[in-house]
A = this chain, B = another copy of it.
Amino acid sequence: MTTHKRQTEGPECPSSVGWTTARQLTLADSEHPFALEAGGSLDAVEVEFEDYGTLNAQRDNAVLICHALSGDAHAAGWDAQAEVSGRNWRIRKPGWWDAMIGPGKPIDTRRWYVICANVLGSCYGTTGPASLDPTTGRPYGPRFPVVMVEDWVRLQARLLDHLGIDRLHAVVGGSLGGQQALEWALAFPGRVGKAVILAAAPRLSAQGLAFNAVGRYSILHDEHFRQGDYYDHQPPARGLAAARMLAHITYLSEQGMHHKFGRRLQDKDRPDFGFGVEFAVESYLEYQGRAFVERFDANSYLYITRAMDYYDPAARYGDGDLTTACRRISAQVLTVSFSTDWLYTPQQAKEFVGAMCACGKSVTYVDLPSPYGHDAFLVETERLGRILHSFLAAGGRP
């Protein structure tokens, strides 16, 4: 069942997970269309996923990892195909959570069979707005249907059906991935043993909606956007870069930015007095914007941030009341917030924990002190790793 393998030629892989190769599966076709929450359906859905470790004979040791906004299925190991597939940003870099997943690591692949799938609407191998619409032979572009967190989770369930996995030992995710983990616990209470929700809350705040709105405004009004039909032309790179720069501010804490950059000038002793890069923090943001444009599709950014906006399980499952919604949950839940995260705040996490407690559900909560803001779920791998390792193992072997 495992797809990661050592490359037969080339250098030794620096990750204990080894070289990985993603797989793609067709999970919807014209005979089995995939219906969407917001309306419409897709007659062709490919899903890209990676897996690490081995599914046991009882098929009860699977752990599903859910990625965040700009993530992909390549959670661990080194991509053996990066050069061939043109995914150059993956060359000489491990998967986005390699520190957490692998033999002897917090999510231990000697024990767990770990799966990570790219979400619908993304641009990393799962069907999205840049994919070809089979009815026209051209990219969907703006004709791609609106997707929601609920769709992602139902599609992941379809993937598990295909892999012969009835029940997950655990589902784990940070940020938008944490919202998927929560949705798993709500939508499929019988299929989830444990749900780990990191740096996430049941819904985005008004301020979070506002940041997403400004990011999308920049993309939608980029001269190259062409109403989303830009695939034969220059992409709306400046709009996407601006959206990413802005989002990056929300991923770091004020305190973290102060320590990392402060008001330090970039490679000079005195300012140039102009509108180019003066301060180190400007240089950092522009770099982040440029790098993102090389690897992400602007339409995917629109669709995925909109999914983030819409997610509201209290509305869907509780008629506006989170406690009512939580009554559906039977998974053991672990929630970790990070003290300086201001995108999904500890306060929001506590509201969720309060709702879980109010309906007598099993919930473990840690507010981890960290200067790294929202990004902490990607950075605080050591302390977070210890918590995750214990939580996944608790209750004996599956």
Contacts and interface: CB of A to CB of B under 8 A. Distances in A.
A364 interface: no
Nearest to A37: B273
Interface in A247-284: 249, 252, 254, 257-258, 260-263, 271, 273-275, 278-279, 281-282
Contacts of A74: none
Interface in A194-210: 203-207, 209-210
A41 interface: no
Interface stretch (A4-12, A211-219, A321-329): A211-219
Nearest to A244: B214
A209 B263 contact: yes
Given A254-B205, A257-B206, A263-B312, A213 B342 contact: no
A245 interface: yes
Given A38-B273, A242-B242, A342-B254, A263 B203 contact: yes
A254 B342 CA distance: 9
A213 B279 contact: yes
B279 A309 contact: yes
Interface string A222-254: 010000000000000010011001100100101
Give the secondary structure class of A's interface: helix
A275 B218 CA distance: 12
A282 B249 contact: no
A76 interface: no
B282 A213 contact: yes
B258 A242 contact: no
A146 interface: yes
B281 A213 contact: yes
A218 B217 CA distance: 10
A242 B257 contact: no
Given A213-B245, A263-B312, A206 B238 contact: no
B306 A210 contact: no
A285 interface: yes
